Chain A
């Protein structure tokens, strides 16, 4: 780790960007792991394709897709 007192403004900004990237990446990783452990795999992967019926209820005059 370099001595902060010897860094110029640009280097500080660059380290700031690296640090923020690391924080965001770690947050996503931590949340992913936490979510994976908190919920069952069946529940997490329970989404099914094409729930268009909601749309038919919301917007009956413009029904599309299928009956």
Chain B
């Protein structure tokens, strides 16, 4: 599809060109890398059974996230996603924090993906076994590929959202298909290949191991809520955002369960808990070159898709905050030709490169998880306030989630358990992150908010809220 470059009147906006496949690809694309690597550290925390419990508990958490987010975003259809929701429903200070959670979660995840891609290319270089003239093994360094990954994907994002997310759709679909092919290759209907009876050894660290496993259980689904960042670029947001988000979480629940089933039936938990690329390792155990190549391609594609979606989402959140003057308005510009938030995209490139270049992978991942978790906690009271201020029937909703307020309560409970799990492993980082957000909030409250045009930031023509607010 050719992107138009029309400037209507004296205004430029983001381009509405995305369909349901793009929304699915944005959500699933960001997350699917978690199936290829990262989830298995939950096995190391509490054994394979604990990882399965974490997979399903986190699945429940994210189903609540997807349902709640689908309802709210079908009415607050604006780039910035949860930031725009917070602005309209809770207030400016909450919105500023939620915007920062989003930018941090996605930029850190992008950095983590770039580190992983660099590592994978370095590993392939090592596997090729090239030597120099003196017979010494040659080493392929990861840093150039870390930087190239970020630069290439930022360039793609800069040039237009349609090409960016079509690229994501293709590579995400291939990566998902690779998991399904591997699932059938291990013949799950027999015990010929899979050895669950021998390999599942209960809970080696008891129930505390299950709680600890929750930390990395989030990795199966982290980022699915990013679909709503496409609100101003999707052709029919009220219908397509809930559709893309709900099909996305269904895809991930299937992929996560298949991934656990394959890996837990092929590898002992002691190995699986510290493997770098568990699905690729599973393919290697099948002793089939086509499967190995397919899963290697799947690993690379899922990593690229995740970083690509993260650049898209982080830049939309940064752009939206700037457009409302929560940040310098200069970042709220749209490219007249490509119709993308080009300054936000370019500004976040060095931030991602710095973290990818210098920070250790586990720290970067933990900062991303923590930022995401803070955002999910916000969703719990956000949806309660939304239903109280604008009850069903007072405004049109593209989707109404069932059993309210049960999903919000379940989400809050699971978030609390996950904070405890993160505290067990990364207490210092948790405290440092909290301190950072407190300082940032003080800066916003006492300094930045004076630049915000208070009336302009509320763009949804809703009726006055009900109740005493």
Binding site for B on A (CB under 8 A): 8-10, 13-15, 17-18, 20-21, 24-25, 27-29, 31-32, 35, 39, 41-52, 54-56, 58-59, 62-67
Residues of B within 8 A of A (CB): 7, 10-14, 16, 74-80, 84, 125, 130, 132, 138-141, 144-145, 147-148, 151-152, 154-155, 158, 231-232, 234-239, 320, 323-324, 329-330, 332-337, 342-343, 345-346, 349, 395-399, 459-462
Measured between beta carbons, the chain B residues less than 8 angstroms from A64 are 74-75, 77, 237-239, 396-399
Nearest to A35 among chain B residues (CB) is: B335
CA distance A20 to B206 in the complex (A): 50
Closest to B87 in A: A49
Contact for A62 among B13, B130, B343, B398, CB less than 8 A: B398
The 8 closest A-B pairs by CB, nearest first: A64-B238, A64-B398, A17-B144, A44-B333, A59-B236, A62-B239, A49-B459, A50-B78
Report the minimum CB–CB distance from A9 to chain B (whole Å): 6
Determine whether the beta carbon of A32 is less than 8 Å from that of B346: yes
Task: Report 13 cross-chain contacts, Cβ distance below 8 Å, ordered by A residue.
Answer: A10-B139, A18-B144, A18-B148, A21-B151, A31-B158, A41-B333, A43-B7, A46-B334, A50-B459, A52-B77, A64-B397, A65-B396, A66-B396
Give Cα A20–Cα B147 distance, bound, in whole angstroms: 10
Q: Assess the B398–A49 pair: CB atoms within 8 A.
A: no
Known: A48-B459, A64-B75. A43 touches B238 (CB 8 A): no
Residue in B140, B323, B460 whose beta carbon sits within 8 Å of that of A66 in the complex:
B460
New A-B pairs, 6, CB < 8 Å, besides A24-B155, A28-B345, A32-B342:
A10-B138, A39-B336, A44-B333, A50-B77, A50-B459, A59-B236
**Contact with B79, one of A8, A25, A49 (Cβ below 8 angstroms):** A49
Would A49 and B151 count as touching, CB distance under 8 A?
no
Smallest beta-carbon distance B175→chain A, Å: 23
Given contacts A10-B138, A49-B459, contact A24 B151 (CB under 8 A): yes
